Amino acid sequence: ACKQLNQVELSDCEIYASCEPCPMCFGAIHLSRIKRLVYGAKAEAAIAIGFDDFIADALRGTSFYQKAHLEIKRADGSGAVIAEQVFEKTKAKFQMY
């Protein structure tokens, strides 16, 4: 998006993700000043297929996410259900550990 818009600040943009972002992705979203994040599956779905998200769990209890001035929302209805189903169906295929 930065390349397409020829700017590093994306304050007029929204991002849609299949899963709640990891801390590194969240940092990139925050630095680009994206105003809204909508995700499908919760981080636990990614953890179930082997992604280590203990850092995200630790940060969730702090003001780190609140200080980002970013609206974070889980997708409603079928979007969230589909994202969870995809992670569940691919769990065995992508099991890392």
Segments making up each domain of the chain, as ranges: 8-90
- Residues 6+ positions from 96 with CB-CB distance below 8 Å: 49, 50, 51
Lowest mean pLDDT segment, chosen from 20-24, 61-65, 87-91: 61-65
30-84 pLDDT, tens digit each: 889 998 888 887 777 777 777 766 556 666 655 655 556 777 777 777 777 777 7
Map residue 11 onto helix, strand or coil. Answer: coil
Q: Which amino acid, residue 30?
A: H
Q: Looking at domain 8-90, what is its CATH homologous superfamily?
A: Cytidine Deaminase, domain 2 (3.40.140.10)
Cα gap 33→85, rounded to integer Å: 30
Joined tokens for residue 48: 């179930």
